């Protein structure tokens, strides 16, 4: 019995190291995986911010809007750990906005990069960019209790208060 446990503990170590490493860089780029590396096994590991969800497992849709007053409405959303939700977002403003999910540290690092490269095109599973009047959805699975942040990383918007919180209980 003891032997089985230690083998399990050892096999869990590389996954933990990878999970920790992916956060130290600040800017998570899931596409940076080594060629041939199975990213699907990595994305199954529980993450404090959650992970892209399976659209067939969505249990509810939460609607929110983004506007030119640099606000998300609502800017505080309650979800349950283990829940997969569809965030259905509408940009009711006249300029480009986006919703990016992550820890506040990751979001700030990403925002700093966006400031340096204003024309930077980015598309990742944890975000959606919407033009004026556009709407779109983002499917996300929340892994563990805590607070997950989101923000609009168009230069100047996060600094102007375009942030929100997903409270996972
Ligand atoms: Cu914005």
Domain ranges of the chain: 49-168
For tokens 């409270």, name the residue: 167
User: If you measure from the C-alpha of residue 160 to the centroid of ligand 1, how many angstroms do you get, rounded to a whole number?
Assistant: 9
pLDDT per position as a tens digit, 74-92: 999 999 999 999 999 999 9
User: If you measure from the C-alpha of residue 100 to the centroid of ligand 1, how many angstroms do you get, rounded to a whole number?
Assistant: 10
Contacts of 22 (CB under 8 A, 6+ apart): 28, 42
User: If you measure from the C-alpha of residue 56 to the centroid of ligand 1, how many angstroms do you get, rounded to a whole number?
Assistant: 29
Mean pLDDT of 114-128: 82
Domain 49-168 fold: Immunoglobulin-like (2.60.40)
User: If you measure from the C-alpha of residue 93 to the centroid of ligand 1, how many angstroms do you get, rounded to a whole number?
Assistant: 9
Rounded to 5°, the CA angle 43-44-46 comes to 95
pLDDT per position as a tens digit, 11-40: 443 433 333 333 433 444 444 433 433 444
For tokens 């965030």, name the residue: 87
User: If you measure from the C-alpha of residue 68 to the centroid of ligand 1, how many angstroms do you get, rounded to a whole number?
Assistant: 7
Residue 2 has pLDDT above 50, yes or no: no
User: If you measure from the C-alpha of residue 32 to the centroid of ligand 1, how many angstroms do you get, rounded to a whole number?
Assistant: 26
User: If you measure from the C-alpha of residue 162 to the centroid of ligand 1, how many angstroms do you get, rounded to a whole number?
Assistant: 6
The predicted structure's pLDDT at residue 44? 53
User: If you measure from the C-alpha of residue 110 to the centroid of ligand 1, how many angstroms do you get, rounded to a whole number?
Assistant: 14
Contacts of 117 (CB under 8 A, 6+ apart): none
Contacts of 78 (CB under 8 A, 6+ apart): 166, 167, 169
């Amino acid at each position: 019995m003891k032997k089985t446990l230690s083998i399990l503990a050892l096999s869990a170590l590389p996954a933990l190291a990878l999970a920790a490493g992916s956060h130290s860089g600040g800017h998570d780029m899931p596409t940076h995986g080594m060629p041939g590396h199975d990213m699907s096994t990595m994305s199954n590991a529980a993450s404090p911010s959650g992970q892209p969800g399976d659209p067939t497992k969505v249990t509810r849709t939460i609607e929110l809007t983004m506007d030119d007053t640099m606000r998300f409405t609502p800017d505080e959303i309650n979800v349950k750990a283990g829940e997969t939700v569809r965030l259905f977002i509408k940009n009711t403003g006249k300029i480009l906005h986006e919703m990016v999910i992550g820890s506040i540290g990751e979001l700030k690092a990403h925002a700093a990069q966006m400031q340096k490269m204003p024309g930077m095109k980015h598309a990742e599973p944890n975000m959606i960019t919407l033009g004026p009047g556009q709407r779109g959805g983002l499917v996300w699975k929340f892994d563990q209790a805590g607070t997950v942040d989101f923000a609009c990383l168009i230069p100047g918007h996060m600094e102007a208060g375009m942030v929100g919180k997903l409270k996972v209980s």
